[in-house]
Structure 1
Amino acid sequence: MSTQDQVPVPVPLAGQCRCGHIQYRVVQEPRFTFACHCTDCQQLTSSAFSLGMAVPSDGFELHGEAHCWEKMSDSGGWSRQFTCPTCAGWTHTITENAPDIVIVRTSTLHDHRWVRPVAQIFTRSALPWALMPLQFSYDTEFSDTSPLEQAFAAGGIRPRRT
């Protein structure tokens, strides 16, 4: 599929925490989706991994006041997880390594059935049965997002208008 043939993500996308205290809108096209197998994500989700969607920070609108939990990441930079102060639903993350990007936790989107990761990170701490056969797999983090953005754009992963 050529760049001209790509169907844009039908923004805005909307989501919220479980109780609705925190609501958000994504008003710019997401750059890519991924799964994170780090132990923090495993603990925060009580699952094998978390799903994230990279969105330009100026394309993310937050409504409601989120609780911020800050932690030093394995790479030595800070990572801020934002949760609802009422239901503790984890809605998004911002990291020092990419302060211009908001990582939306895709399971909090109103419609997340279309979400499919193009990459997985922190596979070194993945549960063996949770590893996915993805083209892009990283033991830790990645620095060049352009291959992920291209795969997301070309891979038929974007949600379609119905």
Structure 2
Amino acid sequence: MSTMELPSEGRCRCGQVRLKISAKPMVTMACHCTGCQRMTGGPYSLSAAIPTEGFEVTEGEPVIGGLHGDIIHHYFCPHCMSWLFTRLEGVDSFVNVRATMLNDISWYAPFIETWTSEKLPWVTTPARHSYAALPAMEDYEGLIKEYMGQVS
């Protein structure tokens, strides 16, 4: 696995919304939940938890899509409807960026996979840790420390 070059830029499919990442991910993930399957049109979504201070929208105005009125806010390009990133209400420490929106993802591999209880039976990932749903809150600190230790 190669290392993420910083800063890293990305965009939606049409280019109207652009992103800039200036901090290394805290952890990378593949989510197999049926919601992610439906929003991506694929077997899972790929994301990188980026420290909030290392994430910025540099062009365009993303809109909330996917779930509405929930504590999970999925942001999309208003024109091409590409799913760009997710923010959790009340969690200000990171932004969950869709890794495939970055211009260079040659460095990317999911470190954890979640919602394997809903994954398609033929799907595999190279994730080091797998969870039937989500990791317990107390597990995240160790997972982040382990991930950051391998990419330093």
The reply to whether TM is greater than 0.5 is yes
Q: Tell me the residue number matched to 1:23.
A: 18
**TM-score, length basis structure 1:** 0.81
Residue 92 of structure 1: which of 82, 85, 88 is its match?
Answer: 85
Taking the aligned partners of 2:107 and 2:4, their CA distance within structure 1 comes to 11
Q: Deviations over 1:95-138 (max 9, x none)?
A: 23734210110001000122101100011111111133533111
Q: Tell me the residue number matched to 1:68.
A: 64
Letter in 1 for 2:7: P
**TM-score, length basis structure 2:** 0.86
Taking the aligned partners of 2:30 and 2:104, their CA distance within structure 1 comes to 18
Letter in 1 for 2:43: A
Residue 143 of structure 2: which of 131, 144, 148 is its match?
Answer: 148
Question: Structure 1 residues 8, 114: closer, same or farther in 2, change over 3 A?
Answer: closer
Q: Which piece of structure 1 moves more, 9-18 or 81-90? A: 9-18
Instruction: Output aligned runs, 1:1-162, within 5 Å.
Output: 9-63=4-58, 64-69=60-65, 71=67, 78-96=71-89, 98-132=91-125, 134-142=127-135, 143=137, 144-155=139-150
Q: Deviations over 1:18-57 (max 9, x none)?
A: 1111101011221111100111110010000000000111
The answer to whether the 8 A contact 2:64-2:73 is kept is yes
Taking the aligned partners of 2:65 and 2:106, their CA distance within structure 1 comes to 28
SS at match of 1:128: coil
Deviation at 1:8, TM superposition (A): 7.3
Question: Structure 1 residues 121, 8: closer, same or farther in 2, change over 3 A?
Answer: same
Question: Structure 1 residues 97, 131: closer, same or farther in 2, change over 3 A?
Answer: farther
Identity value in percent = 32
Q: Which piece of structure 1 moves more, 7-16 or 124-133? A: 7-16
Taking the aligned partners of 1:136 and 1:17, their CA distance within structure 2 comes to 29
Letter in 2 for 1:16: R
Structure 1 unaligned segments of length 5 or more: list them.
1-6
The answer to whether the 8 A contact 2:110-2:125 is kept is no
Letter in 2 for 1:109: L
Structure 2 unaligned segments of length 5 or more: list them.
none
